[in-house]
Amino acid sequence: MGTAELMVDEDELAQMLAELEEQTAGESNVPPLAEPEPPAAESDEATLLAEVESVLDSESDAVAAEVEPTDPPAAAESPAVSTAAPEVAPNVDMIEVASPQPAQPAVTGLKYYLDPGAFSKDILVTEDRLDACMVEQSGLRSHYGAQAAYAEAQHDRVEAKFKVLEAKLYDEHRRNLTASGEKVTEKAIENAVRMDPRWLQGMSAVIEAQTISQVNRNAVMALNDRRDMLIQLGADRRDEMKGQLRIMERSANSERMLKAVANSRAG
């Protein structure tokens, strides 16, 4: 017994499947499964941005490692920047001025060296010892003024001796050049004299004596400035005392007036 083959075209088959789906949908209350939604575009963009940022960070770290030197630059290539705090002017009482006077004088036999450190302490003026400074002023001016005069006289003596030495050296070298048969000129004699060690030693003594004299002269000028300062400070103090006296006088007058008014009311 043979089987009969059903000849169904594609259109009929699609129509039959559609009717079958309608029947099953009506019989069952279960809603059809929703198709999965595609991922949001924002999440894709956020993921892409995160990836790009990670790549950029890695590239920037690599560039910084290449640019940044592994060894510190040499001191000669980059000037050192001072990070020290600005200097603050120290208290006057704590200043210690180093004396320029050498342990052994540059020229033996010279005197009247002045110690700037001791001198600065002698002329120091403070508000607490203003009266003592006024009393000491005349004595300091007399002492340092006399030393300045002695130092100036010493410089004059040394300079006079040097001129005598210089004249002798000129005469000696003139005769030596004449005896040697060379052409004698004033410039040749002067060069010979200045190359003589005795001339250099005498000139050094003159310079040292002049320095001593100038230092003592500056000390006297500082004392003159100190005198002017003491005069001004004394005048300021007198004005302050006058103001205090006027205030005390007004207070006393006010008290007397109040007492007088109280006595009149009581009487």
163-215 pLDDT, tens digit each: 999 999 999 999 999 998 878 899 999 999 999 999 999 999 999 999 999 99
Question: Mean pLDDT, to the nearest integer, of 123-152?
Answer: 92
Residue 242 in any domain: the answer is no
How many other CB atoms are found less than 10 A from the CB of residue 199? 18
Tally of domains in the chain: 1
pLDDT band at 73; cut points 50, 70, 90: very low
Range of the domain at 167: 107-237
Residue 45 in any domain: the answer is no
Question: What's the DSSP call for residue 179?
Answer: H
pTM: 0.52
- Please say if the pLDDT value at position 66 is more than 80: no
Max avg pLDDT among 104-113, 122-131, 158-167, 177-186: 158-167
Residue 14 in any domain: the answer is no
Residue 43 in any domain: the answer is no
Which residues contact residue 114 at a Cβ distance below 8 angstroms, ignoring those fewer than 6 apart? 101, 144, 147, 212, 215, 216, 219
Say if CB 184 and CB 174 are below 8 A apart: yes
pLDDT on residue 191:
93
Residue 3 in any domain: the answer is no
Question: What's the DSSP call for residue 99?
Answer: P
Residue 31 in any domain: the answer is no
pLDDT on residue 109:
84
Name the token pair of 9.
């075209």
Residue 134 in any domain: the answer is yes
Which residues contact residue 77 at a Cβ distance below 8 angstroms, ignoring those fewer than 6 apart? none
Residue 67 in any domain: the answer is no
Chain CA centroid to CA 102, Å: 30
